Amino acid sequence: MRSLLATLLGAALTLAAGSALADPAPIRATSPDGSVAVEVSLDGDGRVAYAVSRRGKAVLAPSHLGFLFTDAPKLDRHLAFAGEERRDFDESWEQPWGEWRTIRNHYRELKVRLRETTALARTFTVAFRIYDDGVGLRYEVPDQTNLHGANIAEELTEFAFAQDGKAWWKPAFLWNREEYLYEETALSALGTADTPVTIRLADGTHVALHEAALVDYSGMAVARSTGTTLRAVLTPGAGRAKVIKSGSWATPWRTLILADDAGGLYMSHLMLNLNEPNRLGDVSWFKPGKFVGVWWNMIKGDWTWARGPKHGATSANVRRYIDFAAANHIPNVLVEGWNIGWDGDWFGNGNAMDFARPTEDFDADALAAYAKAKGVRLIGHNETGGSASHYEAQFDKAFKFAADHGEMVVKTGYVTDAGQIERVDADGTASREWHEGQWMANHYLKVVQAAAKYHVAIDSHEPIKGTGLHRTWPNWVAREGSRGMEYNSWAGKNPPDHEAKLFYTRMLEGPMDFTPGVLSLTGQNGSAILSTEAKQLALYVVLYSPVVMAADTPENYARHMPAFQFIRDVPTDWEESRVLNGEVGHSVTIARKQRGGEDWFLGAIGDETARTTSFKLDFLTPGKRYVAEIYRDAPDADYRTEKRHAMVIEKKVVTGAEAMSLPIAPGGGLAIRFKAAR
Ligand code: NOJ
Ligand code: CA
């Protein structure tokens, strides 16, 4: 009834354009506990907007929706309500690996159907999933006479924040892709930003703006239009349209996580919940675990990927790493530069790369057998140099080679400037694509699917942003997608507050292959890393990935054995995770329970100033005694001096009834293992 009336009313409005007819009543829905509300309204021009509030206070003022097409009139005016659907959903599911085992997916769905009142009469639905900790919305567009697929020039989705605040964001569409330091500005001073954008509104509400389930669509950046209003800006494609769709189609979910504090953003499962369930079934062949590798010496410039006198991936070097891994119960060894193709200028050109042909000084068969005998696996590496089509042509032989050599994980790479991905179609047409464009969104998923057939997991570097697709494809185990440890080798190192920003921004996308654990605290030419030694340990708990590198060399670990013990002990798969305290850009304290075990691990990091972290131990099982193995900054520890190595390692018996208050030095951190007493 309501929808027919709304349609007629909408039509009347168009006919009476300019006259003062009342707008149709807005459509409203709330989250299960009523705290988050969405309201969809139409103005006198038939423009649709949605607004979001939390506990009765506006988060988003009415924000417009719509599309520009390259070959059809825009879709955003002369709309009328044409129906609505509501549904409640509450279900729990289990992650095969992750930061939490069990995830509850509890939302209320509202779908609002809109139809143009003009002769075109195009129709689409805006679907909202409203959670107690945020909202996801997407467009769902049926195949129809006047909208038969779409050539999308731009998406007009707005996010009109109702208050100003502080924003943490990375610039979008610049040459170095996702690898920029975070900007910290007023929301009203935001430029063009990659998502997630993390915002603390003036009233203290924390918001993360991102997207979920980015499939067959281009990645969404946001740009400030006026005041505190942001608008979607889609990543370009090689053609005129940024996105090309056929038949019926839908956008990814545009997501807002809403929380009282910074830690609340991290505790949300909204992004994962807005992805489709596991399509691979049993992935128990993938075992989360740590790795060492022939890597840091190349990042420091002491060894090379290319063949020659300093070639890193020699059989002799790799054997040493296998021995070191086996001796320290580290299950994987990454090897880069093992294959033919690195000798020329591979940056931006991977056409010489052969992903199944080792160099003559790397005896792949013998090393695979040697590793297997020692209970270790090699991790493969496929650097495409951005030549993505060249890689696609080799998928089968690349992943067969990996599987035949006992590799459970392959790290991929797309080292080329933004907008320089090399695409060559079947007919020979060559074009340049963006890492986060529609064609590459499809490419990254093709890699994951091709690898899954061989029981190989993927760790993508220079990736597309994480949007929770590891729920659907749980062999997509990690990605880079921000400035990792490698920047600590080079000039212009990551500043001491970098990881305290990453945690509340990049880490909301899911696992990051950050490669922590450089206990020598030195990069290229002995240059100092801006961190204490204790902080390197803390990063194993703070920055989650199911595959985590111990990035330093065996020789350096031999000089830091007491601290290395924590790296040996820390697991990479968790039953649950709890943020205990923290502020964006300043600090994090997080506790995680080992999956399939009784121990808890705690990591805390700060920024450039000294601080204390205080927390209750009420996450521990009541009545149980634990030995806390504490790795903390010494009183004189400081990332600016040689005292960056100063650390106190101590043991204490504790129970869940206690609390702790421990110091974090400038550039420092804290790592604790709570070992359940037998
Ligand atoms: C950049 C990656 O982030 C790094 O880990 C890798 O070693 C190089 N590319 C070479 O592929
Ligand atoms: Ca990189």
pLDDT digits (tens, 9 = 90+) for 347-364: 999 999 999 999 999 999
For the residues 247-254, what does the mean pLDDT come to? 98
Q: What is the pLDDT of residues 334-348, one digit of tens each?
A: 999 999 999 999 999
Q: How far is the CA of 461 from the centre of ligand 1 (A)?
A: 7
Of 178, 384, 486, 506, best ligand 1 pocket probe by most atoms within 8 Å of the beta carbon: 486
Angstrom distance (rounded) from CA 320 to CA 318: 5
481 in contact with ligand 1, CB cutoff 6 A: no
Q: Give residue 654's pLDDT band: very low, low, confident or very high (50, 70, 90).
A: very high
The CA distance from 507 to 477, in Å, is 13
Question: How confident is the model over 548-575, as a mean pLDDT?
Answer: 98
Question: Among candidates 664, 630, 641, which has minimal Cα distance to 521?
Answer: 641
Catalytically annotated residue among 486, 499, 533, 575: 486
Say if residue 191's pLDDT is above 90.
yes
pTM, rounded to two decimals: 0.96
| Residue of 443, 409, 450 lying closest to 425 (CA atoms) | 443
The secondary structure of 454-516 as a DSSP string is: TT-EEEESS-PPP-STTTTSTTEEEE--S--GGGGTSSSPPPTTHHHHHTTTGGGGS-B----
For 196, list phi and psi in degrees, rounded to 5. -70, 140
Q: Does the domain made of 22-273 have the CATH classification 2.70.98.10?
A: yes
pLDDT of 22: 63
Contacts of the segment 277-282: beta carbons below 8 A, 24+ positions apart = 277/93, 277/471, 277/472, 278/96, 278/471, 278/472, 278/474, 279/472, 279/473, 280/452, 280/473, 280/474, 280/475
Which residue from 66, 112, 65, 62 is spatially nearest to 87, judged by alpha carbons?
Answer: 112
168 three-state secondary structure: strand
Nearest to 512 by CA among 469, 551, 547: 547
Domain 278-481 has CATH 3.20.20.80: no
Q: Is the pLDDT of residue 14 over 90?
A: no
Q: Is 486 a catalytic residue?
A: yes
Say which amino acid occupies 396: D
Q: Give the nearest ligand 1 atom to 381 CA.
A: 11
- Our answer on whether the CB atom of 178 is closer than 6 Å to any ligand 1 atom is no
In CATH, what number does 538-678 get?
2.60.40.1180
What integer is the mean pLDDT of 3-9? 41
* pLDDT above 60 (res 17): no
- Tokens matching residue 127: 């679907």
Domains 278-481 and 538-678 share a fold: no
What size, in residues, is the chain? Answer: 678
Could you read off the pLDDT of 311-335 as tens digits, one per residue? 999 999 999 999 999 999 999 999 9
Atom of ligand 1 minimally distant from the CA of 480: 3
User: Pocket of ligand 1, candidates 178, 461, 490: which has the most ligand atoms within 8 Å of its Cβ, to mutate?
Assistant: 461
Separation of 462 CA from ligand 2 center, angstroms?
A: 5
Residue 535 Cβ contacting ligand 1 at under 6 Å: no
Q: Please state the domain extents for the chain.
A: 22-273, 278-481, 538-678
Q: Return the DSSP state at 528.
A: B
Q: Check: CB of residue 624 under 8 Å from CB of residue 656.
A: yes
End-to-end CA distance of the chain: 66
Q: Indicate if the pLDDT at residue 9 is higher than 60.
A: no
How far is the C-alpha of 328 from the C-alpha of 214, rounded, in Å? 39
CA of 364 to the centre of ligand 1 (A): 21
What is residue 658's three-state secondary structure? Answer: coil
Q: Among 23-27, 139-143, 671-675, which is the least confidently predicted range?
A: 23-27
- How many whole angstroms separate alpha carbon 47 and alpha carbon 66? 9
Give tens-digit pLDDT for 589-631. 999 999 999 999 999 999 999 999 999 999 999 999 999 999 9
